[in-house]
Amino acid sequence: MAGWRNVKNNHDHYDATIRGGALRDTPQRRHVYDLLLGNRDHPTATEVFMRAKKAMPSISLATVYNSLEALVACGLVKQVHIDREPTRFCPNLEEHGHFVCEKCGRVFDIEISQGPATRWKLPKGFTVTHHEISLRGTCADCTKNS
Amino acid sequence: MAGWRNVKNNHDHYDATIRGGALRDTPQRRHVYDLLLGNRDHPTATEVFMRAKKAMPSISLATVYNSLEALVACGLVKQVHIDREPTRFCPNLEEHGHFVCEKCGRVFDIEISQGPATRWKLPKGFTVTHHEISLRGTCADCTKNS
DNA sequence: TTCTCGTTTTAGAATGATTCTTGATCTTGT
DNA sequence: ACAAGATCAAGAATCATTCTAAAACGAGAA
């Protein structure tokens, strides 16, 4: 996948960042982070929980929420919001948008072609700190099979 | 505000559209629609409910939800999603994005400068049916007063 | 007009994601 | 090892939204 540092570097980044945020490196957090890196399909907290239990049966949903919150707080993971659906989590730190296929429900990362400055006509005096772009439609696979 | 047909025309549009969707023109629906047209500050369902009760004290929250759903279904009103905050409602049918001021909480309509085709680098075979763009930052007033 | 039937309204219960609370359990620094 | 603080787990609480069931309503037929 384009724009991705490799897994080893992601783990180094984890070590540095988790401590920079004054957070402990706990097994639960690392497990949650590894799951996100290992399957970059934008899971919800509940989906992360179900996957996490396979290798760590005692983990609780609350801990998954706490771990995800910690990872988001120190910038290792981003939240993805699509309408008011459950929040999804994405370890891709490059600037990008998201595309949801209305047929299969999969979420894809989408490259954004230009910088924020030229993209919108903001009134004078407005400053942007974050943006979120979400598209809906039909993915290539579902277009082909319909 | 730029890009707005006048209120009279919006009401004509209401008459035509509500029937085109095989929906009845009920006092509750018209009242909800009038509120949205009269104060275009992107209220949530609960905010619409509080305003609606002033002129129609017997209206229920469920009816406000139903009315908003009907207006959205026939295309008179659009939903606005900002993160996972409560859904907001917007009668501006022009293509536009939204800007939330993190200081004062107000939501502003934002012009989008280019057509969808050139804006994103979609993989081949992907087709977009809807998009939603939301920005966060500081508005002009709050930048000035800080 | 009156009847009829499908639509709408209403109040309250139910749902579901997320957050909060509380006590138990680890970690780190001394 | 000990104290202080962070984290974990289980369940309760919150809040937007949807669902349910029954009463009220409206447009068209008789």
Is residue A88 classed as helix, strand or coil in its secondary structure?
strand
Q: Provide the CA A7 to C1' C25 distance, Å, integer.
A: 31
Which one of B126, B143, B144 would you mutate to disrupt binding with A, by most A Cβ within 10 Å of its Cβ? B126
Please report, rounded to a whole number, the percentage of residues in chain A having pLDDT higher than 90: 73
List of residues 6+ apart from B99 with CB closer than 8 A:
A122, A126, A128, B107, B108, B109, B110, B134, B135, B136, B137, B139
Cβ of residue A134 closer than 8 Å to a chain B Cβ: yes
Is residue A24 classed as helix, strand or coil in its secondary structure?
coil
Tell me, what amino acid is at B82? Answer: I
DSSP letter for each residue of chain B: -TT---HHHHHHHHHHHHHHTT----HHHHHHHHHHHH--S--BHHHHHHHHHHH-TT--HHHHHHHHHHHHHTTSSEEE--TTSPPEEE---SS-EEEEETTT--EEEEEE-S-HHHHEEPPTT-EEEEEEEEEEEE-HHHHHT-
What is the spatial distance between Cα B4 and Cα A113, in angstroms, rounded to a whole number? Answer: 29
What rounded mean pLDDT belongs to chain A? 88
CA A101 to chain centroid, in Å, comes to 17
Residues of B in contact with A87 (CB under 8 A): 84
Give the lowest-confidence range in A58-62, A69-73, B77-81, B109-113.
B109-113
CB B98 within 8 Å of CB B108: yes
The average pLDDT across B36-64 equals 97
What is the spatial distance between Cα B22 and Cα B84, in angstroms, rounded to a whole number? Answer: 31
**What pLDDT score does B112 carry?**
83
Cβ of residue B97 closer than 8 Å to a chain A Cβ: yes
pLDDT surpassing 50 at residue B6: yes
What is the spatial distance between Cα A55 and Cα A1, in angstroms, rounded to a whole number? Answer: 26
Cβ of residue B60 closer than 8 Å to a chain A Cβ: no
> Which 16-55 residues of chain B approach strand C with CB closer than 7 Å?
23-24, 26-29
Residues of A in contact with B110 (CB under 8 A): 120-122
Q: Provide the CA B46 to C1' C11 distance, Å, integer.
A: 16
Which tens digits make up the pLDDT trace of A70-80?
999 999 999 99
DSSP letter for each residue of B67-80: HHHHHHHTTSSEEE
Q: Provide the CA B124 to C1' D13 distance, Å, integer.
A: 47
The average pLDDT across B130-139 equals 94
Cβ of residue B118 closer than 8 Å to a chain A Cβ: yes
Inter-chain residue contact B99 with A126, CB threshold 8 Å: yes
Cβ of residue A112 closer than 8 Å to a chain B Cβ: yes
CA B81, B82, B83, B85 torsion-angle sign = negative
Q: Provide the CA B30 to C1' C25 distance, Å, integer.
A: 58
- Give me the domains of chain A, ranges plus CATH numbers: 7-90 (1.10.10.10), 97-144 (3.30.1490.190)
Which tens digits make up the pLDDT trace of A86-134?
999 999 999 899 999 999 999 999 988 765 555 678 899 999 999 999 9
